[in-house]
Chain A
Amino acid sequence: MTEPPDYTADEMMTIVAARALRDGMTCFVGIGRPSEAANLASATHAPGLVLIYESGTIGAKPGFLPLSIGDGVLAETADTVVSVPEIFNYWLQPGRIDVGFLGAAQIDKYGNINTTVIGDYRNPRVRLPGAGGAPEIAASCREVIVILRHSRRAFVERVDFVTSVGFGDGPGCRERLGLTGAGPQRVITDLGVLRPSPRTCELVLTEVYPGVRVPEVSERTGWDLAVSDDLAEVPPPDPAELSALRRLIAAAPALEGAAP
């Protein structure tokens, strides 16, 4: 028997996402787990990370987790605040932003994201919030990181609705569509990390977390998941990462348990 780890799978997911952000990068941040990870990176190894929220706050330094992308603390700590047309047209669209950080309700093997409906668009089983800034973040950021829990319901062969394009229907699709960014380069889950194959554009399991076995990941994936020949194990959270994350969460007690 091994000791159970002193961290949760969700904490591991957020910490791995934070590690993916390098100091000095510019990062377009969605609310929820992307915002947790980006703020964790700022608080640990990447104090110079530039946080950009779609509310028009550029270089926000909230110091705790905001509940929404438009909390007052973001405007008060930002380098500058611009209008919504400006944040999308002048800042995102020309490809100035290094990394876009997105969540998803569904993702498919080509990294296409659905946040619109489960089921038929005109007669949905579940109506989800919709696109927000995601389609253009997915199109125009230099690269995209997607973060979501691993389940068969979420990891599907084909998304019910393409809200944001990953690699479309495979190689060459982004180029044909004129999408300027490189697309989803990492999908970070509570089990491991998937990256697109340079040849097929299909998401491949490249990293697993300590204690996670490949069959478990395959079992929770709705397509025949390819596994990298160089599958790596990600180091567990170090104490500094864990305590920084827990401090961030504790400073925003309302956030936990609020998500559906």
Chain B
Amino acid sequence: MAEIVTLAEAIAEAVHDGDTVAMEGFTHLIPHAAGHEVIRQRRRDLTLVRMTPDLIYDQMIGAGCARKLVFSWGGNPGVGSLHRFRDAVQNGWPGPLELEEHSHAGMANRYAAGASGLPFAVLRGYRGTGLAGQTANIAEITCPFTGETLTAVAALRPDVAVIHAQRADRAGNVQLWGIIGVQKEAVLASRRSVVTVEEVVDVLDSRPGAIVLPSWVISYVAEVPGGAHPSYALGYSARDNDFYLAWDAISRDRDAFTRWLDENVHSGIVTR
């Protein structure tokens, strides 16, 4: 059963130095507040797993939390590059960053395999690309029924998944809707999980298209209104596209980034 705790308690309990951490949310419902808490608690040597590293991992990489990044698309959507990610890869600042790189289809299937308790997933993917030769987690496999050559990808089994959702009830059942991404698979693939929610309510009334993750597959729930900002929670907030645009200038420069981090994350006050 999920324990309802503060965000600081959830991160302190669930995320340890050296862990493999998957903070998911596909553009929508990105758990930014939880990422900031990981930065504030100065976690180190994390293997960060996420399909789209987005600003959340740009910040965590720049803050020195990450040793390795497992991902499929590392840009600022609609804006351009992730400059902290690029600085780490091209110049090793603030430290070297090991990369393991996939396609979206590959990552999604790796989570699905993890959630399914399987060692790998099969897809039509990667064939002929340069990606396949760069990691042992992509391999050719022959279909035992047709003889066709397909691609196998190793399951993802993170130590902890962190997601943001719209609501939870007091028992810790979590409800999310809108673009649901790969969050269900990430939670079910991981040993532990933290869910931040916009609000904790008495009853989760039904919503069209909503999914519920039962309390018994979740470790910790923390109420963090606005916890996805500058991403958004459908029904609660809109994507702060201006912040995504502003991030380009903040993140280009190491000093500007460090100042932003001090003023907005380490201070504990996040500008909205």
| Chain A residues within CB distance 8 Å of chain B | 31-32, 54-57, 66-72, 74-76, 80-81, 83-85, 88-89, 92-93, 116, 121, 124-136, 139-140, 161-165, 168, 173, 177-180, 254-255, 258-260
Contact = CB atoms under 8 A, between A and B. Distances in A.
Given A72-B234, A134-B103, A136-B103, 17 more contacts: A31-B77, A83-B181, A83-B182, A84-B104, A93-B105, A126-B86, A129-B82, A130-B71, A130-B73, A130-B74, A131-B72, A133-B73, A161-B130, A163-B129, A163-B131, A164-B129, A258-B248
Given A88-B108, A124-B89, A139 B75 contact: no
B128 A83 contact: no
Given A89-B123, A131-B131, A84 B26 contact: yes
Given A84-B51, A165-B128, A259-B79, A55 B27 contact: yes
B179 A57 contact: yes
14 contacts: A71-B239, A74-B179, A76-B234, A89-B123, A116-B130, A127-B85, A129-B82, A134-B103, A136-B104, A163-B131, A178-B148, A258-B248, A259-B80, A260-B81
Interface in B161-196: 178-182, 184-185
Interface in B124-143: 124-131, 134
Interface in B234-250: 234, 238-239, 241-242, 244-245, 248
A128 B123 CA distance: 25
Contacts of B150: 178
B234 A135 contact: no
Nearest to B184: A83
Interface of B: 26-28, 51-52, 71-75, 77-82, 85-86, 89-90, 101-105, 108-109, 111-112, 123-131, 134, 148-150, 178-182, 184-185, 209, 232, 234, 238-239, 241-242, 244-245, 248
A260 B131 CA distance: 25
A67 B28 contact: no
A70 B26 contact: yes
Nearest to B24: A84
Contact of B127 (A67, A81, A121, A179): A179
Contacts of A140: 124
Contacts of B128: 162, 165, 168, 173, 177, 179
Contacts of B77: 31, 67-70
Nearest to A88: B105
A133 B180 contact: no
B115 to A, nearest CB: 9
Contacts of A178: 124, 127, 148-150
B231 to A, nearest CB: 8
B92 to A, nearest CB: 11
Contacts of B72: 130-132
Contacts of A130: 71-75, 101
Nearest to A82: B180
A72 B232 contact: yes
Contact of A85 (B79, B102, B131, B182): B182
A136 B125 contact: yes
